[in-house]
Amino acid sequence: FQVRAPPPLKRQRLEVPAREARMKAREAVISQRREAWAAIKKLFASKKDVFEAGRNGLQSYRARAIESCLQMMLKNGRNLTSASERAAESQGFSPIWGARMVRSWVGRWITSRDLLTSKRGKYSKVFSLLDDLLVCTELRTYLRSNKWSMNPKKLVEFTKNKLLPDEAKKYLQHVVETEMPNGLKKYQELELFPQIQMKVSKGISLRTAHPHDREKMSWVWQGEQPLKKKGAGRGLHQSDFICSTVGWLKEASKTLEYGKNYDGFWNGELFIKQLREDFVPAFRKAHGPDYQALVMVDNSQGHSAYSVDALVASQMNMNPGGKQPNMRNGWYVKDGIRVSQDMNFSSTHPNHPGQPKAVKKYLRENCDYTYKTLQENMPTALASVSLQTIRRWEHRMDRWVAAYDTGLDAKEAQ
């Protein structure tokens, strides 16, 4: 088996005595300082522009402080602390904090021969066109292509007349397509919407209630099922306004007994009537006549309504007569000319004077029910859609896409 070597003795003779090692280390430090001193003197003797702001700049004063500190340590035998304090005062720096900085500059110069650069004028909010890589690339390309005939005047003309307008156009395109939409979205989410919530905001609250008084149990023959009503039956529909300052506006409340044999069902016409007759007086009574209300409602059939004479095909009867609204005249564009279409019979009509036309009558006047005509009219119908309508639908699609990108589903996005 292998025998383990004995442990080293606690006291053993060093290969190099400690005193001699300290002397060699001190000589190495002095040698490094001499080389650094010679390098800094050579830097001052150079005729090139080696300092950032010339020989009277901040970097030049730092280099003189480094030279003074090294000279006092090597020639006068001073230690680093004493030499750095005197060197800092000689160049106009603070004797305490400036001396600390001089010691750090000396160490950096000895190890890497590097002078600390000034951060003046390089704040994050200070921007120069030369910091842009695209601008620098364009300038280098122009200088290479015109190197034999280049002068400062031509470079200035190129920068003013060609380079800056092109870069301005690119930046304007970036601002319009990226920064402005993002900024508008951020403004709406962080500033506009919170302020709207803090104002006198009016919301509408809709709710329905069922009595649930239907028979829960009944007797039926074996093998048969009880016949239940199709609807929920009679109930109450409540339309209210709530305010972030005064709470529930009781005087603007509206109750409707919905059902087939009762008050009917809630619709947009009743909502508009409630706004005019109930909400406006209650709001003025609660806040005074100088305030303006912001009414926020959801997208439902109970809040939407057409004008009295709106062109809605679902409100037209199949045949003339009966209960149907008097619609305004329709129109279409043919060969650049707007052609009007009467939706009502003339006052001299023998059977229906002044009454609304029915769907059957209107279609027979404007359609021949042939497939060939359908093929001819389809491109014309598509071309009749205005650019404004297309842009509106495009913006609506963008809002849906943005809602889906944030993780909302179809119900939440509405």
> What is the percentage of the chain residues whose pLDDT exceeds 90?
15
The answer to whether the CB of 40 falls within 8 A of the CB of 105 is no
Average of pLDDT values for 387-402?
Answer: 88
- pLDDT of residue 203 exceeding 70, the answer is no
pTM, entire model = 0.34
- Round the average pLDDT of the chain to a whole number and report it: 80
Who has greater pLDDT, 236 or 101?
A: 101
How far is it, in rounded angstroms, from Cα 197 to Cα 199? 5
Which one, of 248, 268, 271, lies nearest residue 202 by Cα? 248
What is the structure's pLDDT at 38? Answer: 92
* Cα within 13 Å of Cα(365), Cβ side: 11
| Mean pLDDT lowest among 120-129, 205-214, 326-335, 357-366 | 205-214
- Joined tokens for residue 136: 């620098």
* Residue given tokens 């110069």 in the structure block: 109
326 confidence band (pLDDT: 50, 70, 90): confident
The least confident of 33-42, 150-159, 179-188, 198-207 is 198-207
324 alpha-carbon distance from chain centroid? 48
Q: Which two tokens stand for residue 33?
A: 């300082």
Mean pLDDT computed over 218-246: 72
CB neighbour burial string for 374-402, b if at least 16 within 10 angstroms, e if fewer: eeeeeeeeeeeeeeeeeeeeeeeeeeeee
Region 217-235 average pLDDT: 65
pLDDT > 80? residue 125: no
pLDDT of residue 30: 93
Decide if pLDDT at 127 tops 70.
no
- The arithmetic mean of pLDDT across residues 174-185, rounded, is 80
Considering only residues 179 and 30, tell me which one the structure prediction assigns the higher pLDDT: 30
**273-305 burial string, b = 16+ CB within 10 Å, else e?**
ebbeebbeebbeebbeeeeebeeebeeeebbee
* Reported confidence tier of residue 383, pLDDT bands at 50, 70, 90: confident
Residue 76 has pLDDT above 50, yes or no: yes
Give the percent of the chain with pLDDT over 70: 83
